[in-house]
Amino acid sequence: MQAVTEWRPPYAYVPGQTDRHSEDLFDRFEFGLDAIETSDRWQLALAFMHEGFFWEAHELFEPIWMSLPNGSADRALVQGLIQLANAGLKQRMGRNNAVARLSDLAKDLLQTALTGQRKAIPGMTREDVCRLWEVMPIDDYAL
């Protein structure tokens, strides 16, 4: 059996360019709020960000984000990663105005999550977030 973090969908979904994946494609990837950073869902989402599966990363991050407490550093971090994935997807779609808007949102959320006394998801450092930002196909934006 293939390791979860090695599994990939057959292609990266890009609206208007490729067929959408089935609605239940990611249902098997679970997570627990007490160990998000080691969950299959989290690890796969991060790998997808690095590899350009932006829509897929968003789909994996979203249930985690929805489960986290409002106002928490964790929630801001995951929402920032979702917006960063959206920016990467919009870049691929050639929607530059959306890229600029989403990149700004992502930057604000990620900086909020990673500054001050707030503790974000264990194992996710500022350097990790910066590495994700650097692999994004977004021009003129840096964290």
Q: Does domain 34-135 have CATH number 1.10.3450.10?
A: yes
Instruction: Look at 7-16, 26-35, 60-69 and tell me which has the smallest mean pLDDT.
Output: 26-35
CA distance 143 to 121: 18
The tokens for 86 are 């959206």
User: Nearest 5°: phi and psi at 87?
Assistant: -65, -40
Cβ atoms of residues 143 and 130 within 8 Å: yes
Q: What is the pLDDT of residues 2-24, one digit of tens each?
A: 455 678 888 999 998 988 888 88
Displacement of CA 64 from its chain's centroid (Å): 10
Residue 123, pLDDT score: 66
The tokens for 85 are 């994935």
Residue 122, pLDDT score: 62
Residue 82, pLDDT score: 97
Residue 2, pLDDT score: 43
Closest by Cα among 40, 46, 11 to 28:
40
If you count them, how many residues does the chain have? 143
Would you list the domain boundaries of the chain? 34-135
Residues 6+ apart with CB under 8 A from 106: 80, 81, 83, 84, 86, 87
Residue 7, pLDDT score: 83
Q: What is the pLDDT of residues 118-132, one digit of tens each?
A: 556 766 777 888 787
Give the mean pLDDT of 16-37.
82
The alpha carbon dihedral of 116, 119, 135, 84 has a sign of: negative
Residue 1, pLDDT score: 32
